[in-house]
């Protein structure tokens, strides 16, 4: 069922992939100060917590004593030609990447962008086009100049809007002829789970309660996104600008109406970001939720008009697993992507305890498309696993092939159901640093990178079994999944 022009590819993010953190005039981002989360500090394979102000300060003052893997990523900065060649050999039509804000504006406050930073991304886009690969660019994938975190407490401050829009206008002006597909914010809803990682702010430093602080930051991001979309529509009408969420497809634990209602509310909140970014206004249920939960937001002047004028062209989301919701508090929970979930007894789980649910992907595609009637793009999906590099340079990752095959079948069925799906970029197509633990142990790629959690290794690239498999999938436009 896949249309001829379907965009097959893979996804990455600069903070987790790029490395070169102190080269080319790049400033530091807040993620450069997250240390490797060792096994001892993990609870049930879930990252113990977002980074606190105290923890951040300690690392900041003693940088050299910490293992800071985000700084290294998988060293795309020095390997981009090789990586793109490998992607081209696999047949990629699209490559999702993000731009490091601090590489273009080292502190965020400069008046003009760093020319070396601009050149680096020009080179990357040129290399992609050499092979006919379309870049799909996330303007911000969690990564903020750390200077803005320290000076303004990140996105809690309204000041972030103008710094961000200066940066995104640069992106559009500079790259509009090389990049057609854009996403403003990666998983915009993630601030509700990881405010430091996603918004570069410390909730404990705010005068507001936790939810107010988070929704305040989100309000600023939604405004910044809408202003960016408006600018792109006016100056680069050939581009398509998307919204993105971490999709938390959820099921009620039972058919008890209270469980079904609790599930409905979780789902409404998860999709509320699409309501705002695609329809251009805050939905009534979200304003009621603010009222009922003591969430106070200082709305930006003229925000209603700004949101209306900056609605997106397509909807992108990540999908790794589904969730189970109960109205009764205190039930045992399993780890998940961003949030924990009740265990779904009908699903198998990954090594990290994430419930594998390809049917949930078909459900989610239908649900989102039915509601918004906009083209969709799956920009993250995949299996994190501990791969083993054999002596002969092979990696046998049949488990990953099984996972991806079932999800691709689900996409195929959803397209047959009538969903308009632009493309599929599976996560971490080249191994990169994981977001939850800042480690290299949890890998997603078709291409293995020889680097461990401590930065030891050659950083050489090796093709996994899934590499050859995905090449066939793309060649046959999704028909040959064996
Ligand atoms: C998504 C993020 O939520 O999940 C990625 O956008 C992240 O940045 C991915 O890497 C997988 O999570 P993890 O923790 O397994 O790396």
Give the pLDDT confidence of 294-317 residue by residue, as tens digits: 999 999 999 999 999 999 999 999
> How far from 19 is each of 38, 183, 241, CA to CA, in Å?
21, 21, 26
Tell me what the mean pLDDT of segment 238-242 comes to. Answer: 98
Tell me what the mean pLDDT of segment 205-218 comes to. Answer: 97
**End-to-end CA separation in angstroms for the chain:** 17
| Known catalytic membership, residue 116 | no
The model carries a pTM of 0.97
Which range is least confidently modeled, 32-36, 76-80, 319-323, 384-388? 32-36
pLDDT at 456 over 90: yes
Q: Is the CB of 362 under 6 A from ligand 1?
A: no
Domain assignment present for residue 2? The answer is: no
Domain assignment present for residue 481? The answer is: no
- Residue 43: band (very low, low, confident or very high) from pLDDT cuts 50, 70, 90: low
> How far from 274 is each of 28, 195, 278, 415, CA to CA, in Å?
31, 19, 5, 20
Q: Provide the pLDDT for residue 353.
A: 87
pLDDT at 250 over 80: yes
Sign of CA dihedral 87, 90, 95, 98: negative
Point out the ligand 1 atom lying closest to the alpha carbon of residue 428. 10
For residue 292, the domain's CATH number is 3.20.20.80
Q: Whose alpha carbon is nearest atom 16 of ligand 1?
A: 434
Tokens of 461: 């690239």
Q: Whose alpha carbon is nearest atom 15 of ligand 1?
A: 434
The residues, ordered by sequence, that sit 6+ positions from 72 with a Cβ below 8 Å of its Cβ are: 19, 21, 433, 451, 455
DSSP 373-430: -S-EEEEE----B-----TTS----HHHHHHHHHHHHHHHHHHHHT--EEEEEEETSB
Q: Whose alpha carbon is nearest atom 8 of ligand 1?
A: 435
CA 238 to ligand 1 center in whole angstroms: 30
Q: Provide the pLDDT for residue 335.
A: 78
What is the Cα–Cα distance from 213 to 211, expressed in whole angstroms? 5
Domain assignment present for residue 102? The answer is: yes
Domain assignment present for residue 482? The answer is: no
Domain assignment present for residue 1? The answer is: no
Q: Is the CB of 246 under 6 A from ligand 1?
A: yes
pLDDT tens-digit readout, 123-166: 999 999 999 999 999 999 999 999 999 999 999 999 999 999 99
pLDDT at 41 over 80: no
What is the Cα–Cα distance from 250 to 234, expressed in whole angstroms? 37
Tell me what the mean pLDDT of segment 94-107 comes to. Answer: 98
% of the chain exceeding 90 in pLDDT: 91
Q: Is the CB of 187 under 6 A from ligand 1?
A: yes
Radius of gyration over alpha carbons of the chain, in Å?
21
Domain assignment present for residue 480? The answer is: no
What is the Cα–Cα distance from 129 to 66, expressed in whole angstroms? 38
> How far from 241 is each of 184, 207, 233, 282, CA to CA, in Å?
7, 34, 8, 20
Catalytic option among 127, 214, 249, 380: 380
Q: Provide the pLDDT for residue 341.
A: 84
Query: For all residues of the chain together, what is the average pLDDT?
Result: 95
What is the Cα–Cα distance from 266 to 80, expressed in whole angstroms? 40
Which residues form the domain of 370? 7-475
Q: In this structure, what are the phi and psi dihedrals at residue 396, rounded to the nearest 5 degrees?
A: -100, 95
Bridge partners of 315, per DSSP, are 243, 376
Domain assignment present for residue 324? The answer is: yes
| Known catalytic membership, residue 187 | yes
Total number of domains in the chain: 1
pLDDT tens-digit readout, 459-471: 999 999 999 999 9
Q: Is the CB of 434 under 6 A from ligand 1?
A: yes
């Amino acid at each position: 069922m896949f249309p001829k022009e379907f965009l097959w590819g893979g996804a990455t993010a600069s903070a987790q992939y790029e490395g070169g953190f102190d080269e080319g005039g790049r400033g530091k981002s807040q993620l450069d100060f997250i240390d490797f989360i060792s096994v001892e500090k993990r609870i049930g394979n879930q990252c113990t917590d977002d980074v606190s102000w105290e923890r951040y300060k300690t690392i900041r003052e003693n940088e050299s004593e910490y293992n800071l893997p985000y700084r290294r990523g998988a060293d795309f900065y020095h390997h981009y030609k090789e990586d793109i060649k490998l992607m081209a050999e696999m047949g990629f039509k699209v490559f999702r990447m993000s731009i490091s804000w601090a590489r273009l504006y080292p502190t965020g406050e400069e008046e003009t962008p760093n020319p070396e930073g601009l050149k680096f991304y020009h080179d990357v886009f040129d290399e992609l086009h050499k092979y006919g690969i379309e870049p799909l660019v996330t303007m911000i994938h969690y990564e903020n100049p750390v200077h803005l975190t320290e000076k303004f407490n990140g996105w809690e401050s309204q000041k972030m809007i103008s710094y961000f829009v200066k940066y995104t206008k640069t992106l559009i002006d500079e790259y509009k002829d090389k990049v057609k597909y854009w996403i403003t914010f990666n998983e915009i809803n993630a601030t509700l789970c990881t405010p430091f990682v996603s918004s570069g702010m410390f909730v404990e430093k705010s005068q507001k309660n936790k939810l107010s602080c988070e929704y305040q930051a989100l309000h600023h991001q939604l405004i910044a996104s809408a202003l960016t979309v408006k600018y792109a529509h006016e100056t680069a009408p050939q581009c398509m600008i998307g919204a993105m969420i971490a999709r938390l497809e959820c099921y009620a634990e039972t058919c008890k109406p209270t469980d079904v209602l609790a599930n409905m509310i979780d789902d409404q909140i998860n999709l509320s970001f699409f309501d705002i970014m695609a329809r251009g206004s805050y939905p009534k249920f979200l304003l009621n939720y603010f009222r009922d939960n003591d969430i106070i937001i200082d709305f930006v002047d003229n925000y209603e008009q700004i949101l209306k004028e900056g609605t997106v062209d397509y909807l992108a989301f990540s999908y790794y697993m589904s969730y189970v919701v109960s109205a009764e508090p205190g039930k045992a929970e399993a780890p998940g992507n961003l949030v924990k979930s009740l265990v779904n007894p009908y699903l198998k789980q990954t090594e990290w305890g994430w419930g594998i649910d390809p049917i949930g992907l078909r459900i989610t595609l239908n649900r989102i498309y039915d509601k918004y009637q906009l083209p969709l793009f799956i920009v993250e999906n995949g299996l994190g696993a501990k791969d083993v590099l054999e002596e002969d340079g092979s990696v046998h990752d049949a488990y990953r092939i099984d996972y991806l095959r079932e999800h691709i079948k689900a996409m195929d069925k959803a397209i047959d159901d009538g969903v308009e799906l632009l493309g599929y970029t599976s996560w971490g197509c080249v191994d990169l640093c994981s977001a939850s633990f800042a480690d290299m142990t949890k890998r997603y790629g078709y291409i293995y990178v020889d680097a461990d959690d401590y930065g030891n290794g050659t950083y050489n690239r090796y093709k996994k079994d899934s590499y050859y498999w995905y090449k066939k999938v793309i060649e046959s436009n999704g028909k040959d999944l064996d």
